[in-house]
Amino acid sequence: KQEQFSQSAVQHISVVNLAASAYEARMITAIIETRDHEVDLAHALAALVPAATEGVVRQVIVIDYGSVDGTRVVADAAGCVLIEAAAAGTDPLRRAADITRTDWLLLMPPSLRLSPGWQSGALAFMDAALIEGKAEARIAAIRGGTVSPGFRGWLRAPFVRSQGWLMSKSAYLAAKPSR
């Protein structure tokens, strides 16, 4: 009798884990590199709040390159994971990607102003990549505060000052192998 209970409990647990991972496949970690961008960081974090309340953004990591203003205070008050670039070694972005808890990364400068509802475009992009089975190879530019997938997004992205990138964690890690 005890064996039957143990087996059914294990089967139940594995079903719960599968459901959680399918949900997490559509969650984003925002990674923001900053140095003395206290006000810009506060605005960038405020733009992420609606997506966080919808469950799209799960984690925010701030990489600080030696700020002397209130940047660290803003990041801490918002509940961000703070990485000191000097202590992270040669590649703080790689370190940030390694510790993320999600399958998707939003790499953004603090000056990027996300448009209201940007997360709808991000979800559509992620869904399309997952359905096509090409999540490891798909990257979208974030320009003008919205997600710009495909060739046009790539083509116009170098001409946009404040831009970000949305990509799968596996695509980023494949492009930046550990040293």
Per-residue pLDDT of the chain (179 residues; tens, 9 = 90+): 444 443 443 333 333 333 344 445 679 999 999 999 999 999 999 999 999 999 999 999 999 999 999 999 999 999 999 999 988 778 899 999 999 989 999 999 999 999 999 999 999 999 998 998 888 878 888 887 888 876 554 455 454 455 889 999 988 888 776 65
List the beta bridge partners of residue 139. 167
Q: Is the pTM of this model over 0.85?
A: no
Please, are residues 67 and 76 in contact by the beta-carbon 8 Å criterion?
Answer: no
Q: How far apart are CA 28 and CA 60, in angstroms?
A: 9
Q: Which two tokens stand for residue 168?
A: 């799968």
Q: How far apart are CA 52 and CA 130, in angstroms?
A: 21
Query: What is the torsional sign of CA 41, 47, 96, 149?
Result: negative
Shortest CA distance to 32 belongs to which of 81, 77, 91? Answer: 81
- CB atoms under 10 Å from CB of 3, counted, come to 7
In the block, residue with structure tokens 């475009």 = 121
Q: How far apart are CA 37 and CA 74, in angstroms?
A: 10
